[in-house]
Amino acid sequence: MSLTPSSSAPSSATARLRGLKPDWLSAPRVWRTEILGGLVVALALIPEAISFSIIAGVDPAIGLFASFTMAVTIAFVGGRPAMISAATGAVALVIAPLNREHGLGYLIAAVILAGAFQIVLGALGVAKLMRFVPRSVMVGFVNALAILIFLAQVPEMHDVPWPVYPLIAGGLALMVLFPRVTKVIPAPLVSIVVLTVITVAAGIAVPTVGDKGELPSSLPVPGLPDVPFTLDTLTTVAPYAFAMALVGLMESLMTAKLVDDITDTRSSKTRESIGQGVANIVTGFFGGMGGCAMIGQTMINVRVSGARTRLSTFLAGAFLMALCIVFGPVVSDIPMAALVAVMVMVSFATFDWHSVAPKTLRRMPAGEITVMVVTVAVVVATHNLAIGVVVGTLTAVVVFAKRVAHLAEVTSVTDPDGSSVVYSVTGELFFASSNDLVTRFDYAGDPDKVVIDLTAAHIWDASSVAALDAIETKYAQRGKTVEITGLNQPSAQIHRKLSGELTAGN
């Protein structure tokens, strides 16, 4: 009896089990990248979370708790590995008025309700709307993001002790030069450690993380928001919750798409949408201010540190709390200059320099450039990425409609005997092109029989059907007949369904 099958079975089973393991369980190098990436992100999250807490008008611990619970939860339920979710400025801006007018309890209730809205929107397929965001808007989004990241660092470089400037320059130099020596340790982490050691050892008085606010000394505990559970409460928080849900999903889905492009991988946008909702609900019950994907920290994790798995996301949240609770005094001594240098480097790496190169601009259609510039301008002006994306997309729709509208052409051929005329219509017929269609026919001069050939055209909407009805009516008023031919199946279906039903009295 041959022993070959039985001896090969364990090997085959082992191979199958190995294939089921996440990458970070089987590769020490991946472990190192993910752990160090998570640590760098955690260090960068602390001053950001404190700053966003100030914007929202809450205690710094509320923002730090939100960053902890968002990151840890999304690591398990999110659809985009390695993406960082935490307390964000966009969410802080949305909910700040609610906290100012009604208090923290209402803010927490809005966070929980926003999470529920996000789950519903995710289940309804809101993520599929991302396919309608054109590339020019995406490029504008990325460039605007890079500008906002840089602008957020400007206050940290204004009216500060002079040593801040050489420290920032030194941090940037370290991040540029250190990877040429080794990439085993992320350059941002080296920069943070070196600059902290220098400032502490030399006793250099510069702004530190501790100057931003007091770090929490214990883990958050779950609880219900301190609000009356009434209809009045619901009507008060619902508008803020819905706005937060939309802004959070917009930023998260755009960030997920950006990471997809950087890593050449695909992610589940529906799962990410639902995951953001779950993370916000968890965050609300733990007393956090809510949040969404953080683009700057995600770029640190993915582009600068090279992380690719959920481990780095989880560890970013875990390290954040560990650094605050266990190593609070040490973290408080980190100079803000070190973190400013990291974010400036992220800003530089995030900006799509190719998109603004003279060679690219000369080749790019004017409409595409306009859309990109509008997106950047709106985002920078409003400091709201979601508004910029919406305005940019609407601008792209207008540019596209204007461009396509000119593609509809009408040519006519009259029979030699003059008994009939054939109008050939080519192009896409929709509201922008069909409105001009009625003026392209010679109603008074044409013979009694008119043929409109739509073989090379496509009907997209009710406006086109209404235009064709108007043409037939104008000819009928002069005792002439119209025959429409060449309709493809979708066009024939919409024409058959709507023709004669779009004017008053029918």
- Listed in sequence order, the residues at least 6 apart from 77 whose beta carbon sits closer than 8 Å to its beta carbon are 271, 274, 275, 278, 279
* Structure-block tokens of residue 249: 């999903």
- Cα separation, 96 vs 476, whole angstroms: 63
pLDDT along the chain (506 residues), means of 10: 41 46 60 90 86 81 94 96 90 86 94 97 88 84 83 87 95 91 82 92 91 84 92 93 89 90 91 96 95 89 89 95 90 89 83 89 89 92 80 89 77 85 91 83 92 92 91 93 93 90 58
Are the C-beta atoms of 147 and 167 separated by less than 8 Å? no
- Cα separation, 463 vs 468, whole angstroms: 9
C-alpha closest to that of 94 among 112, 110, 70, 109: 110
- Cα separation, 35 vs 260, whole angstroms: 21
- Listed in sequence order, the residues at least 6 apart from 280 whose beta carbon sits closer than 8 Å to its beta carbon are 70, 111, 112, 114, 115, 118, 248, 290, 291
Query: Which helix H or strand E contains 149, and what residues bound it?
Result: helix 135-153
DSSP 249-268: HHHHHHHHHHHHHHHT----
- Listed in sequence order, the residues at least 6 apart from 304 whose beta carbon sits closer than 8 Å to its beta carbon are 40, 186, 187, 188, 342, 345, 346, 349
Q: Is this prediction's pTM over 0.85? A: no
Using CB atoms within 10 A of its CB, is residue 215 exposed (0-12), middle (13-18) or buried (19+)? buried
Query: Beta-carbon neighbour count of residue 266 at 10 Å?
Result: 10
- Cα separation, 38 vs 232, whole angstroms: 42
User: What φ, ψ does residue 410 adopt, rounded to 5°?
Assistant: -130, 125
Three-class DSSP category at 107? helix
- Cα separation, 107 vs 56, whole angstroms: 9
Q: What is the pLDDT of residues 395-431, one digit of tens each?
A: 998 888 787 767 678 998 888 888 899 999 998 898 8
DSSP 108-144: HHHHHHHHHHHHHHHHTTGGGGGGGS-HHHHHHHHHH
- Listed in sequence order, the residues at least 6 apart from 248 whose beta carbon sits closer than 8 Å to its beta carbon are 88, 90, 91, 114, 118, 276, 280, 290, 291, 292
Residue 26 has a pLDDT of 54
Three-class DSSP category at 234? helix
Residue 296 has a pLDDT of 83
- Cα separation, 352 vs 396, whole angstroms: 19
- Cα separation, 372 vs 378, whole angstroms: 10
Residue 16 has a pLDDT of 46
Helices (H), 383-461: 385-405, 431-434
Q: How many residues make up the chain in this entry? A: 506
Q: What is the pLDDT of residues 76-101, one digit of tens each?
A: 999 999 999 999 877 887 888 899 89
Residue 17 has a pLDDT of 43
- Cα separation, 337 vs 159, whole angstroms: 13
